[in-house]
Amino acid sequence: MFLVLIQAFVPGVLHGQFAFAGFEHLGQLFQRRLWRVSLQNSLYLAANTAWLGTVLALMLAMLRQRLAPWGVSLLDLCAWALLIMPSFIIAQGWILFSIKGGIADAWLGMPWVNAWVFSPQGLVNIMVLKNYPFAYLAIVAAMQWQVRDHQYAAQLCGAGSWRRFLTVRLPLLLPAILSGMLLVFIDTIGDFGLPAALATTYRFPTLPYTIFTAINQSPIRFDLAGVLSFYLMAILMLAVALYLCLLRRSRFDFLTAKAEVAKAEPEGSAWLWHLLMLVFVVCALAVPLGASLAVSVVEQLSAGWQSSNFTLQHYRTLLQPGSLLHSALINSLRIALIAAMAGAIPVAIRILLGAMAQVPASFLQSAAMQGAGLMRRLATVLLPICLAAFLSALLTSFAGSVFDLAVTSILHPPGYAVLPVVIDRLFQQGLYGQSTAATLLAAAITLALLQLTAWSVRRIWRPLFVAPSASGNSSTLSSAKADKAAEPRLEHQHA
């Protein structure tokens, strides 16, 4: 980062010229119209996506508590699928669905979709559908535990359900909400693929696109890229500083010995909640992936629904022994398994902080007074309470590394096939069938690995994820049964 940012002040440092150029390059942001518009567009896109995505994530997290187990699994699967899919793959799906002569136009008779998608507001909406999982996973992890005494106290004071939610539950979730909003903001303002892909029919430059233009021209202007990178980093640092300032103004460690695992709260209108969930999953996931699936099984996109147009040749080509996809998938999975925390540390930290902010320091202090060392306190106190957030952070890090186009496209060695580069290259060559087929195969394998890992962890530590249905026996941090079993031992120690 230092080598990137120093270009704004010492433009010739890479050529052995160490003359300080002053701060005049920074002032060009207000003189060059492209730079100024790029900054405005990036702030508009990131700010609107952040708050809209966080509101959507909060609504889905609350909806999750009113769904049957199959609905919870489907909603979580949708979030994970959108999370592991890089923006350029989601963009490919929306492009194939919305372009003139595409699926919406030629197959479904909805030409108006083109104008709705390829517009600034359409870009915001699609970015919201793509990036809301960051906030969703952080909020869901923070909602794992609840203390009903707070709700009962507010109810005894005459507060209704909505007032209890706005004045009790929502403020206690503030660390997770802010963490999720920050993640959505950061991922949106630094995204290059999706805005660049969807802005093909109108001009909507962003800071990452303008930086790419500066280093992709002849001669290469690292100094211009350094200036824009300086402003991009300044925005991100300001967002993080604001987040920390808001977080330190209040305490959020509300967990007590009566905390219990949150469980579903079914209502009489359960069918309505499930219908809303299904509609959302269709809009967020089925449309882009469905478009990719449809293109992967047809010979010509414009031919539409004709039996003679369907084929599985694209999959046969990719599944042949020694195919490029096979080696690329193995290489990408190996990289993700070995080095997944390397580039995803900020994401993992943001997800974990939302849950860790709820844990009072007295929990760890009590264990320390009993002689437990640091590692034992982390393993026996903090990890069980924050296990859901830890699992989300781990799987997020792995999933984000499998389809990382930006890093792998620049740093992969010659002749070393990696999955994102192979998929993007097939799409750029116009081989839409093979590109979408490779996307779906790789996504299915990655999702299967994620679900298997999540199921195994939840199966082993089931009491930390599922609340027992029997009344009076809810899973708590200090259950009555455990207290009763410990009474004779405590009396003996006291004697």
Give residue 423's pLDDT.
Answer: 82
The kind and range of the H/E element at 52 are helix 33-64
**Per-residue CA distances from 401 to 36, 161, 318, 407 (Å):** 32, 41, 22, 9
Amino acid symbol at 235? I
| Contact yes or no for 164/155 (Cβ under 8 A) | yes
Positive or negative: CA dihedral 147, 148, 151, 157: negative
The H-assigned helical ranges of 65-169 are 69-84, 87-98, 112-117, 120-142, 148-156, 161-164
Give residue 478's pLDDT.
Answer: 46
Supply the pTM of this predicted model: 0.71
Give residue 259's pLDDT.
Answer: 62
**Per-residue CA distances from 84 to 218, 348, 396, 449, 461 (Å):** 34, 14, 8, 12, 25
CA–CA separation, 6 vs 112, rounded Å?
Answer: 47
Tell me the three state secondary structure of residue 476.
strand
Which residues make Cβ contacts (< 8 Å) with residue 297, sequence separation at least 6? 310, 311, 312, 314, 433
Give residue 268's pLDDT.
Answer: 59
Tell me the three state secondary structure of residue 261.
strand
| Contact yes or no for 214/224 (Cβ under 8 A) | yes
CA–CA separation, 26 vs 30, rounded Å?
Answer: 9
Tokens of 50: 């952040």
The 10 Å CB-count burial string (b at 16+, else e) for 27-64 is eeeeeeeebeebbebbeebbebbbebbbebbbebbbbb
- What ranges do the domains of the chain cover? 2-16+26-262+271-478
The 10 Å CB-count burial string (b at 16+, else e) for 194-206 is bbbbbbeeeebbb
Phi, psi dihedral angles at 346 (to 5 degrees): -60, -40
Give residue 114's pLDDT.
Answer: 85
- Per-residue tens of pLDDT for the chain, all 495 residues: 788 778 778 877 777 777 777 777 777 777 888 888 989 999 999 999 999 999 999 999 988 888 888 888 899 889 988 877 777 778 888 888 888 877 888 778 888 888 888 888 889 999 999 999 989 988 887 777 767 777 778 888 887 777 877 787 788 888 888 888 988 998 899 887 788 777 666 788 888 888 887 777 777 777 778 888 888 888 988 888 887 777 676 665 556 666 666 666 656 578 888 899 999 999 898 888 888 888 888 877 766 667 777 888 888 887 777 777 778 888 888 888 776 675 667 777 767 776 787 788 888 888 899 898 989 988 888 888 888 778 877 777 787 778 777 677 777 788 888 888 888 888 778 787 888 888 888 888 888 888 888 888 878 777 766 655 544 444 444 444 444 444 444 344 444
The 10 Å CB-count burial string (b at 16+, else e) for 79-102 is bbbbbbbbbbbbbbbbbbbbbeeb
Q: Which CATH class is domain 2-16+26-262+271-478?
A: mainly alpha
Give residue 55's pLDDT.
Answer: 94
Region of residue 243 (phi > 0: left; psi between -120 and 50: alpha; otherwise: beta): alpha
The number of C-alpha atoms within 13 Å of 214 and in the hemisphere containing its C-beta is 22
| Contact yes or no for 344/404 (Cβ under 8 A) | no
Give residue 75's pLDDT.
Answer: 92
The kind and range of the H/E element at 260 are strand 260-261
Tokens of 101: 């002569």
